[in-house]
Amino acid sequence: MLLKTFGWSFAITAAGLALAGILWGWQGLAIVAILSVLEISLSFDNAVINAGILRKLNPFWQKMFLTVGILIAVFGMRLVFPVVIVAITAKLGPIEAVKVAIQDHDRYEQLVTSAHPAIAAFGGMFLLMIFLDFIFEDRDIKWLAWLEKPLARLGKLDTLSTVVSLVVLLIAATTVATSVPVHGGSGTVDKSATVLLAGIGGLVTYLIVGGISGFFEDRLEDEEDEESEEAAPAAKGGASLVGLAGKAAFFMFLYLEVIDASFSFDGVIGAFAITNDIFMMALGLGIGAMYIRSLTVFLVRKGTLDDYVYLEHGAHYAIGALAVILLITIKHEINEVVTGLVGVVLIGLSFLSSVVRNRRETEPGDGSEAKAEVSSGV
């Protein structure tokens, strides 16, 4: 099971490190290895969130997540995306932007870093919406009941997540965004308008992609309920169900990719603390991204989220923390170690809480019935 799931990750790691050693020597190999560890530490909560969504998809879309999805993650977000950001912010043509990325590493780093306020606002708002929609939903299983119960009651207001996000965005735009330090120079610059525009873009992206995927998922569940109630479903009904399942899966896959993109923002920016070589970054972060995706599939196939029911809660709290950290980094620099540790600690605590819950559930009798309840997430 372990080798089957992580086999490609191990192979790509060996090939990637060997390539780094050949191209850049021992120093390049070490940098690529460090970047891989950085990406894994920053994105472990991403794997848990992805697993919660991926388990709803069939094996075909799970394979798409590991094949087409990893190409988007590595080449799209770790290689192409920073170059696109440079082209837009510096008003360069695509070819010129590529030349800057390859030939002028210092200028490339400066241009990408100067675009950080917009990137942080977009990703921060998208991730904040994920956290708020989770925490405002009334769930049967609650980790921090003293906090989640009152928030679930407040969550009965349908637009509360959007309102809270907009308030947070306004606060960020009128505080940290008003005096952003100039990269590589002295003085500050006002990025309020940029942060507002990018933050609204992140919010709109979440509402569109998340809304469409949720709509098709609900429609699919309704169709399945109707099919189970009918003794002999009509042929037309069966055909629509297949088509609807395909649409639902596609938009959920798209939603997964947007989530992964939002999680990758801090890794791409943080990588500049280690190197400004675009190819080293793409290789190191790509190796880390491959492990995160393999870990996602592993969690789905092992049913880990069903066995340890608070893991998903811990991951969403980590997402909320990351969203706030991203908004703070518009002005203030926060070490990547701190960002990574926050997520690891929250997920670790949720895992330990799940273990304690499982032991408590098995204490009354022989444990067979309780184990069944725990594994089913009841």
CA-to-CA distance for 365 and 8, rounded, in angstroms?
43
The whole-number average pLDDT for the span 334-350 is 83
pLDDT digits 0-9 by tens, 276-306: 788 888 888 888 888 888 888 888 888 888 8
pLDDT digits 0-9 by tens, 32-75: 888 888 788 777 777 888 888 888 777 787 778 777 887 887 77
Q: Given a cut of 70, is residue 365 above it in pLDDT? A: no
Burial letters 190-210, b for 16+ CB under 10 A, else e: ebbebbbebbbebbebbeebb
Listed in order, strand segments (DSSP E) in the chain are 180-181, 188-189
Q: Given a cut of 50, is residue 378 above it in pLDDT? A: no
Q: Given a cut of 90, is residue 138 above it in pLDDT? A: no
CA-to-CA distance for 134 and 215, rounded, in angstroms?
17
Please give the model's pTM, rounded to 2 decimal places. 0.77
- Residue 317 — very low, low, confident or very high, per pLDDT cuts 50/70/90? very high
Beta bridge partners of 189: 180
pLDDT digits 0-9 by tens, 95-108: 888 888 888 888 88
CA-to-CA distance for 6 and 26, rounded, in angstroms?
25
pLDDT digits 0-9 by tens, 113-127: 888 888 889 888 988
Tell me which of 224 and 89 has the higher pLDDT: 89
CA-to-CA distance for 100 and 310, rounded, in angstroms?
46
3-state secondary structure 158-183: CCHHHHHHHHHHHHHHHCHHHCEECC
What the block records as the tokens of 186 is: 């002295």
Q: Of all residues in the chain, what percent carry a pLDDT higher than 90?
A: 13
- Residue 132 — very low, low, confident or very high, per pLDDT cuts 50/70/90? very high
CA-to-CA distance for 329 and 266, rounded, in angstroms?
10
